[in-house]
Amino acid sequence: MKSNQQSGAPLPELPETSFRIPVAGTWSISIAILISRVLGLVREMVMARYFGAGLFTDAFNVAYRIPNLLRDLFAEGALSAAFVPTFVRRLTKDGKEQAWMLANKIISALLVILGALTLAFFFGAKGFVFLLASGYADIPEKLELTVQMTRILSPFLLFVSLASVGMGILNACGSFFVPAMASSAFNLCCILAGLFLSPIMPYWGLDPIVSMAIGGFIGGASQFIVMIPSTYSAGFRYRFVLDFSDPGVRQMARLMLPAIIGLSATQINIAVDSQLASLYGNGPVSWLNYGFRLMQFPIGIFGIAIATTTTAMVSHYAARDAKDKLHRTLVANLRLAACLTFPATVGLIVFRHEIVRLIYEGGSFLPAHTIKTSQVVFLYALGLFSYSAVKILVPAFYALNDARTPVRISMITVAAKIVLNLILRIPFGFLGLALATSVASWLNCGLLMKQLQRKTGNRWQMGDLNACIRIALASMIMGILALLAFRFTGLFFPGTGSFIQAFRLGTAILTGMVVLIPLLRIFRINEATEIVRMIASPARKVL
């Protein structure tokens, strides 16, 4: 099948005078990711209620972490960061037909390279498990179960890498909702597998937890499949073209190889955490995973949405060599991210125990697991803004055709993380691993901001730091008011039942949301108006 000769949907023009993220793009991504994150929480609830936090969930978490780590490093990390600016540059300078051809060559190269890597995962599963969790060797049943599920999940990286190319194509053409919804297919498949497939696993001689690996395999394929209709509508037609000499393919390779390290600080740190946590017996790997998943929820709702649309914007500005506009776009969106993640940080810290108990506790997930997981949530939440900021900052370097700087910073961050792990695990045990992750993420963020200032020639202003301090103060007051609302409702609705706790927690969250905008305005935060605009724009369309 030949590449389509139709023009397809035109590439939207980027406003040259606005440095705000597109409202439509942000909300479409936010809604899609919200759906995905909710389904992700439901998936984790199924995991917690059916399998608890111990040997079986530890085994699945490491088995899933192997392809998921490489997905974040390669597919949704290096590949996305390298593909979008390369594709946009070809699209801007040479038109859609040449951009489609570049996409064909990249997909073909991925099929060959990742197909071979999939075979390596399958046949070398035991070696990969040892790399992430050598402590499992002391529990043969745990090791064998992890290896079995690793083999089932071995094609996952190939599927999500192809999905990432589709996502990049659609984002570059101004379509954000469908790509952001793709991960919902994965979560839905895992939920259905846990609910309906796990009970029949023993009839096949398999442990019930294996159903989650099968659901992950099908879910990974679904992420790729849901992209096909939208890319087809955009005008793309795939045909196998293997050409490693194409300048665009080589440019991507030059960006990707260092980007695999440059975008990987958090994921490499998580891999180190898995290795060290595996030494603490059954439980810590799962507690860290459950806590990290909760911390990722607010990041997904707005952090990733802002990062995704920002990546497309800075790629366009970089293609036009408009560094001043690129810098101002980053500043505006970092401040907006602070307005959304600082309150989320306060909320997670104040209500960590209540949130964990409401979402996870029950069935095989015991109150002791709730205590440990809530402690993890507290420590991970300290780095919430820095996680989001790194996702916004790193792609800017690749848009500017600079892959070396993030690599150097990432290597420094990873080294610092390992040192912090070894120091903090002495007084805090496995909890020191979560604290070290947050500290290292802030280091990563600070170094990236410093180097980006040199790269663009634009300085970060003291006013931006002052604004962040005011946002933090507003968020703390919001947290106090939300906590008062939680305790006030407890006077009229005492008890520990799930429904009562959900009502009280929902009232506290609603209180925080209501008072946040007025508090931001009291503290003279201009982004309060931006948030109102983001909320009002889709509301007007609905009404």
Name, in order, each residue with C-beta under 8 angstroms of 234's C-beta and a sequence gap of 6 or more: 8, 9, 169, 170, 173, 175
What's the pLDDT at 21? 47
Backbone angles phi and psi of 19, in degrees to 5: -115, 15
Cβ pair 355, 290 in contact under 8 A: no
Token pair, residue 206, equals 């398999």
Cβ-contact 132, 62 below 8 angstroms: yes
Q: Cα(10)–Cα(48) distance, rounded to whole angstroms?
A: 46
Q: Could you count the other beta carbons within 10 Å of the beta carbon of residue 217?
A: 21
| Phi (first) and psi of residue 192, to 5 degrees | -65, -35
Q: Closest Cα partner for 25 from 230, 173, 232? A: 173
Candidates 179, 171, 165, 167; CA nearest to 110 is 165
Identify whether the C-beta of residue 276 lies closer than 8 Å to the C-beta of residue 417.
no
Q: How many residues does the chain have?
A: 543
Nearest one of 441, 432, 323, 342 to 391, comparing CA atoms = 441
- Between CA 455 and CA 449 the distance in angstroms is 10
Per-residue pLDDT, 136: 80
**pLDDT at residue 533 in the model:** 67
Contact 335, 467 (CB under 8 A): yes
Cα(349)–Cα(352) distance, integer angstroms: 5
CA distance 259 to 409: 11
Position 149 scores a pLDDT of 93
pTM score of the predicted model: 0.70
Q: What pLDDT score does 313 carry? A: 72
Categorise residue 130: left if φ over 0, alpha if ψ from -120 to 50, beta otherwise: alpha
Report the alpha-carbon distance of residue 302 to residue 66 in Å, rounded.
Answer: 26
For residues 171 and 5, give the distance between their C-alpha atoms in angstroms, rounded to a whole number: 20
Contacts of 204 (CB under 8 A, 6+ apart): none
Report the distance separating Cα 224 and Cα 160, nearest Å.
Answer: 6
Q: With contact defined as beta carbons under 8 Å apart, do 278 and 136 qualify?
A: yes
CA 319 to chain centre: 26
For residue 302, the model assigns a pLDDT of 61
pLDDT in tens, the chain (543 residues): 343 333 344 444 444 434 444 444 455 666 777 787 788 888 888 888 888 877 888 888 888 877 776 666 565 556 666 777 777 778 777 777 888 888 888 888 888 888 898 898 899 888 888 877 777 878 888 889 999 999 999 888 888 888 878 877 787 776 767 777 777 888 899 999 989 998 899 889 888 999 999 999 998 888 888 888 888 887 888 888 888 888 878 877 777 766 666 555 556 666 777 778 877 877 788 888 888 888 877 766 665 666 666 666 777 777 677 777 787 878 888 888 888 889 999 999 999 999 999 888 877 788 888 999 999 999 999 999 998 888 888 878 877 777 788 878 888 888 898 899 989 988 988 899 999 989 988 999 999 988 888 877 777 777 778 888 999 999 999 999 999 999 999 888 877 777 888 899 999 999 998 999 999 999 988 877 777 766 655 444 444
pLDDT score for 406: 81
Cα-based distances in Å from 440 to 78, 347, 413, 431: 20, 22, 6, 14
Bridge partners (DSSP) of residue 362 are 365
pLDDT at 118: 87
Question: What pLDDT score was predicted for residue 493?
Answer: 81
- pLDDT of 266 reads 58
What's the distance, Cα to Cα, between the start and end of the chain in Å? Answer: 44
